Structure 1
């Protein structure tokens, strides 16, 4: 009897390890994809001859990857962990000589704040699997921006990494906080509403080797750009 119990415990532990490894593979996969998009799409948007507010586009893209990670793992923590992977990819530019620290830390911090905002809304709202309510999409889009301003005045400005004038300018504030925040919330809301009953998503076979390879590719792309 004891031997049977021991065997059952071993099988259970092995399954838990397999599930954990599988979930980590999912998180790394979507975090790496997010990092690649941030590096490539963000770069293209910045070099366009006409100005495009990158924040109004990149956050909804990041939201897509975070909710994909959550749907696949059924674990709310995966939302924030996915943002950690994407933010970490940005940090590789710290090893490039002459790169201003703020240009690396700033986007990484924003990605982490986005992950935290989405994770908290998913946790404390009524949202589970159905379409998200617009008020939650709006809070999600504005809250990480509030966190960004708090971080700037608490750390970036006191440490001399950036000037206060760069974020208190009225036109920049309206664009970053109100316009981009509103656009973000609308894109996320309509995406969630349209895809709520879509059961035809492509099934991906996640594995540690593929996810790790994708992460290395993401780091290499970020390094080049």
Structure 2
């Protein structure tokens, strides 16, 4: 469990910091920052999925933690520009959940591998 938690946190921090720092600047500079940031986010999700032993819940957790990182940008924006944080957070959640669903479908993960620690022995 510790290994999976470290994998989740590592890839969530990588994607979250990229979104919070690079995305913060790009979203104020242009409207299509997601085109530049999604490939890195997808890479983080794929790597977390692979490093965790192909547990389908891991990319979902990475996505949720990344969205919380991006919400930290609310502290640095004035209230009239909060939409520039909310919309990217919604995009992160939708990108992450769709990518997680595609990972689940394309790898044909057995049901017993969906949970991180089901508590049963084979």
Provide TM-score, normalisation by structure 1. Answer: 0.42
Report the CA distance between 1:22 and its aligned residue: 1.6
CA RMSD of aligned residues (A): 2.4
Q: How many residues align?
A: 107
Structure of greater Rg: 1
1:30 to 11, 21, 45: 11
**Is 1:64 paired with 2:20?**
no
| Higher mean displacement: 77-86 or 38-47 | 38-47
Whether contact under 8 Å (2:20, 2:69) holds in the other structure is: no
Q: CA deviation at 1:127?
A: 6.9
The structure-2 alpha-carbon separation of the partners of 1:101 and 1:79, relative to structure 1 and needing over 3 Å to count, comes to same
- Counterpart CA distance in 1 for 2:18 and 2:77 is 23
- State the distance in 1 between where 2:68 and 2:24 align: 17
Distance apart, 1:96 and its partner CA: 4.8
CA positional deviation for 1:26: 0.8
Question: Residue 85 of structure 1 corresponds to which residue in structure 2?
Answer: 65
Q: Report the alpha carbon displacement of residue 52 of structure 1 after superposing the two structures with TM.
A: 7.6
**Cα distance in structure 1, aligned partners of 2:8 and 2:107:** 23
**Displacement of 1:42 after TM fit?**
2.2
Specify the alignment match of 1:55 in structure 2: 34
Q: Give the unaligned 5+ runs of structure 1.
A: 1-19, 129-225
